[in-house]
Amino acid sequence: MSEPSHNPAWHLDTMMVHEGTNRSSFGETSEALFLTQGHVYESGEQCEARFNDSEPGFIYARFSNPTVAMFEARMAALEGAEAARATASGMAAVTLSLMGQVKAGDHVVAAQALFGSCRYVIEEWLPRFGVETTLVDGRDLAAWKAAVKPNTKAFFLESPSNPSLEIIDIAAVATIAHAAGATLTVDNVFATALWQKPLVLGADCVVYSATKHIDGQGRCLGGVILGSNEFIDTYIKTPLRQTGPAMSPFNAWVMLKGLETFSLRVERQTRSASELADALAGHPTITKLIYPGRKDHPQAELIARQMAGGSSLIALEIAAGKQGAFRFMNALSLIKISNNLGDAKSLITHPATTTHQRFTPEQRDLMGVGEGLVRLSVGLEHPKDLLADVLQALARV
Ligand SMILES: *Cc1c(COP(=O)(O)O)cnc(C)c1O
C-alpha cells in the first residue's frame, strides 16, 4: 500500500484537490473508484495480521475501503480533525454519533430547533433504548445548564439551525457540557466547514450530511463523523464496523470529487445568498428575512465571533402565511421546489408542510417555523437571474 498524499503546509484549496489521494500501481490522475466489497490476501498469516490490526490494509467495505478512506482523509483535512468516518447518509452520521456514545440510563440534552429527523432521533429513537433526552432553547445558556443531570453524557445542536437559522454559542455550550462531564456534538451542515469550525470552538464531534454542500450537485447521499482519534476510536469505530451504516465506495468517489470544488462553490453560493438577502430586505411582501451574514440578524454579534462567513441559505417569511408562501413558490420558475440544500441548483422549501410537517403548530413556533416561512438554498446560478425570479414571484403573492 502506498502512502496517501499529505502535506501539512498546504493551504485548504490545495488539500481539497490532493489530500488523501492514494494512487494504485496504475498511477491514475483522478482518484480511483474501488468498487469492491473486499480484498484478497497473500496468505493466511497476512489475513490474520490484517484482522488483528498488526498490519495496515483493507479488509471489507463495511469497515474501510480505499476510495472511502481517501474521502475520509480529505474531510479530516477540511475540518482540521484528527479522524473522520464516512457513513451512508447524514442521518446515519447523526444517529451513530449519538448512539455510539450512550447506553440505557444515560441522558442527552439537545437544542429544540433541529432538522426534523434529528428531532426524531433525540425525541423518539434514543428514548426507545432507555436514553433520557431533554430539549432546550439552544440560545438560552441557562437552559442548557439547568438541563444537566448526573447521568448527562452528550449535548447535541445545529447552528445555524434548519430552517430558522438560529445561532447557538458553540464555545459556551461546549464549556457547559465539559463542566458536566458530557461531550458536545455539532451538526454543522448549515455553516459548512468553510465558515465554522466547531472543534476549534470546543466541540468534541462534528457531523455532516455530505448529501448537501459536499456533494453539492444533488447526486448521492452521504454523511461523515469527525473528531479526535480518541473520540472516534472510543465511540464510533467499533459500532460503525459492527452495525454497518457504511458509505458506498461509489458515493465516496462522488463526494471526493465534490470536495475538489467545495470551497469555490460554497464561497460563490454564500456571496450570491448575501447579495440576494441585501436586495430583498425590506420588500413589502417579506414580513421577515433571516440571513446570518446581515447586521440585522438578531445574533449578529455572536455570528461575527464564531463564523467566518454567512450561509448559502436564507429564511424568508412571506406575507399571508401558507397561502402566500405557496403562491410565491408556485410562481418561481428558475428556482425549483425541492427539499435538498447546498445544491448547484437553487431550491425552495416550505418547512411547515415538509421537513417539519409532523410537529404541532405550537412546536413549530418554538422552532421558529411559521406557516409563511420558506427556506431558500442559493445555488450557482447568476445572482441577478435568481433575484429576477424571486421578485417576479413576490409580485404575484
Ligand atoms: C439534511 C440534513 C441532515 C440529514 O442528512 P441526510 O444525508 O439527508 O441523511 C441532518 N442534519 C441537517 C442539518 C440536514 O440539513
Domain limits, the chain: 12-260, 262-394
Atom of ligand 1 nearest to the CA of 210: 7
For the stretch 283-286, contacts whose Cβ atoms lie closer than 8 Å and that sit 24 or more positions apart, written own/partner, are: 283/394, 284/319, 285/318, 285/319, 285/324, 285/328, 285/394, 285/395, 285/397, 286/316, 286/317, 286/318, 286/319, 286/394
What pLDDT does 1 receive?
57
CB 216 within 8 A of CB 265: yes
Closest residue to atom 2 of ligand 1, CA basis: 209
Question: Ligand 1 within 6 A of 187 CB?
Answer: yes
117 Cα: distance to centroid of ligand 1 (angstroms): 8
Cβ 370 vs Cβ 317: under 8 Å: yes
Secondary structure E strands in 327-383: 336-337, 347-349, 373-377
Global pTM? 0.96
Q: Are 239 and 263 spatial neighbours (Cβ–Cβ below 8 Å)?
A: no
Which atom of ligand 1 is nearest to 340's Cα?
A: 1
Q: How would you write the pLDDT of the chain (397 residues) with one tens digit per residue?
A: 578 999 999 999 999 999 999 999 999 999 999 999 999 999 999 999 999 999 999 999 999 999 999 999 999 999 999 999 999 999 999 999 999 999 999 999 999 999 989 999 999 999 999 999 999 999 999 999 999 999 999 999 999 998 889 999 999 999 999 999 999 999 999 999 999 999 999 999 999 999 999 999 999 999 999 999 999 999 999 999 999 999 999 999 999 999 999 999 999 999 999 999 999 999 999 999 999 989 999 999 999 999 999 999 999 999 999 999 999 999 999 999 999 999 999 999 999 999 899 889 998 988 889 999 999 999 999 999 999 999 999 999 9
**Sign of the CA dihedral 90, 95, 98, 99?**
negative
Would you say the CB of residue 89 lies under 6 angstroms from ligand 1? Answer: yes
- Report the separation in Å between the CA atom of 40 and the middle of ligand 1, taken as the mean of its atom positions: 35
Fold of 12-260: Aspartate Aminotransferase; domain 2 (3.40.640)
Q: What is the pLDDT of residue 368?
A: 87
The CATH topology of domain 262-394 is Aspartate Aminotransferase, domain 1 (3.90.1150)
The x, y and z cell numbers of residue 324, run together, are: 402566500
CA 21 to chain centre: 23
Q: Confirm if 335 and 347 have CB atoms less than 8 A apart.
A: yes
Res 52: pLDDT: 93
Pairing of strands 347-349, 373-377: antiparallel
> Which H/E stretch holds residue 152?
strand 152-158
Sheet holding 313-318, edge to edge: 286-290, 313-318, 373-377, 347-349, 336-337
The verdict on the CB of residue 95 being under 6 Å from ligand 1 is no
DSSP output for 262-314: HHHHHHHHHHHHHHHHHHHTT-TTEEEEE-TTSTTSTTHHHHHHH-SS--SEE
Q: What is the pLDDT of residue 244?
A: 96
